[in-house]
Amino acid sequence: MAFPPHYFGQDEVLAALKSYWDKGMENAAVLERLHARTGVEGRYFSRRLEEYQALDTWGKTNDVWIETAVRLGEEAIGGLLAETGLPPEKIGTIFSVSVTGIGCPSVEARLINRMKLPVHIKRTPIFGLGCVAGASGLARAADYVKAYPDQAAILLSVELCSLTWQRDNLSVPNLISSGLFGDGCAAVLVVGERLAAEMADRRTSGDAAKLGPRVVDSLATFYPDSEEVMGWAISEKGFRIILSADVPAVVRQHLGANVDGFLARHGLTRAGIGSWIMHTGGPKVLEANAEALGLTREDFHLSWEALRRAGNLSSASVLMVLNDVMREHRPKPGTHSLLVAMGPGFCSEMLLLEWS
């Protein structure tokens, strides 16, 4: 994981937003109430709070996105390579995902130049999947190394949600998002079976604890006629949030059956899942997830904790929870985990993981 250097508590952000929205803040009490319900105590930001006033065009904002995304991407991928000892020439592909800014050349292209990575890396920048992209990108990386078992794939997720604030938008969805979403970056390494065996030959016992789970299978599900539930309305001012109150209802309607059908393909039930790695969508979404699956808040305690510490990081959120599981709450060998995220479309993606 990599984060911008600026971290602010929710009270500090709230005070700054009252100044940022200098018109129409007669509903400041509404803003305070909505922020208090997000479950967020603090978040990382790409700039100091007072600097957002000057970002008054989409062009200026996107320039900051490119600058910050490249810096955080270099930190995340550099840390990943240093920790794993993977030779860069083993990287066959990079998938980069984001829904908070755009660049052409895309971020991973800029990183190949900046980090002197191999020039034959296959690049796949993905835009538009939103919060589900952390799970979807991980699934696509796993698919790639099945086809190229002697190579590695990197997933890079960069989400700088604070750069999507709309100053003239006092709608409830925008007020909620200003209190819920934060900035952050995650990089994940997925290696093919032959490369994994090669790396195992020179692995020490201490290195074993750094290894992640095996991706057993993945399932993507698109829910027809739900495209108005979540997304962006894109104009000359940038990204305007679409966030329907129907999101929890869609989760309750579909998630339980999706999970049961997916697990049944592997002779498993919900009771056979030792840990749940859920996207930190927000309190109402996490509560809907638990209700749909017949689980408790404690089953998702790592997601609630990630939400508290850093807010909703869009596609990077579920990867932050995965990182916390790997480093601090590693399941016993043989345990199955289910990683789940949902996003615009409306859609879901889930991965069945097995720990060694």
Q: Distances from the Cα of 190 to the Cαs of 105, 229, 275, in angstroms?
A: 24, 32, 20
The answer to whether residues 340 and 318 touch, using CB atoms and an 8 Å cutoff, is yes
Residue corresponding to tokens 């399941």: 331
The answer to whether residues 299 and 325 touch, using CB atoms and an 8 Å cutoff, is no
Strand partners, 7: 44
Confirm whether 104 is a catalytic residue: no
User: What is the per-residue pLDDT for 198?
Assistant: 87
Q: Which two tokens stand for residue 68?
A: 């910050």
User: Within the chain, which residue ranges are assigned CATH 3.40.47.10?
Assistant: 6-200, 212-354
Nearest Cα neighbor of 158 from 51, 9, 44 is 44
Q: What does the DSSP 8-state code read for residue 241? A: E
Task: Classify residue 20 as left (phi > 0), alpha (psi -120 to 50) or beta.
Answer: alpha
Annotated active-site residue in 131, 161, 185, 347: 131
Q: Which two tokens stand for residue 9?
A: 């508590």
The answer to whether residues 189 and 145 touch, using CB atoms and an 8 Å cutoff, is no
Q: Which two tokens stand for residue 19?
A: 């100044």
Please state, as a whole number, how many other Cβ atoms lie within 10 Å of the Cβ of residue 147.
Answer: 9
Radius of gyration (C-alpha) of the chain in whole angstroms: 20
Q: What does the DSSP 8-state code read for residue 44? A: E
Architecture of domain 212-354: 3-Layer(aba) Sandwich (3.40)
Q: Can the peptide bond before residue 105 be classed as cis, meaning omega within 30 degrees of 0?
A: yes
Please state, as a whole number, how many other Cβ atoms lie within 10 Å of the Cβ of residue 281.
Answer: 26
User: What is the per-residue pLDDT for 25?
Assistant: 58
DSSP string, 242-292: EE-TTHHHHHHHHHHHHHHHHHHTTT--GGGEEEEEE----HHHHHHHHHH
Per-residue pLDDT of the chain (356 residues; tens, 9 = 90+): 999 999 999 999 998 888 776 555 566 778 888 899 999 999 999 999 999 989 999 999 999 999 999 999 999 999 999 999 999 999 999 999 999 999 999 999 999 999 999 999 999 999 999 999 999 999 999 999 999 999 999 999 999 999 998 888 888 888 899 999 999 999 999 999 999 988 887 765 555 556 889 999 999 999 988 888 899 988 888 898 888 888 999 999 999 999 999 999 999 999 999 999 999 999 999 999 999 999 999 999 999 999 999 999 999 999 999 999 999 999 999 999 999 999 998 999 999 999 98
User: pTM for the whole thing?
Assistant: 0.94
The answer to whether residues 122 and 93 touch, using CB atoms and an 8 Å cutoff, is yes
User: What is the per-residue pLDDT for 190?
Assistant: 97
CATH number of 6-200: 3.40.47.10
User: What is the per-residue pLDDT for 207?
Assistant: 56
Q: Can the peptide bond before residue 262 be classed as cis, meaning omega within 30 degrees of 0?
A: no
User: What is the per-residue pLDDT for 204?
Assistant: 58
DSSP string, 312-334: B-GGGHHHHHHHHHHHHSPPPTT
User: What is the per-residue pLDDT for 264?
Assistant: 98
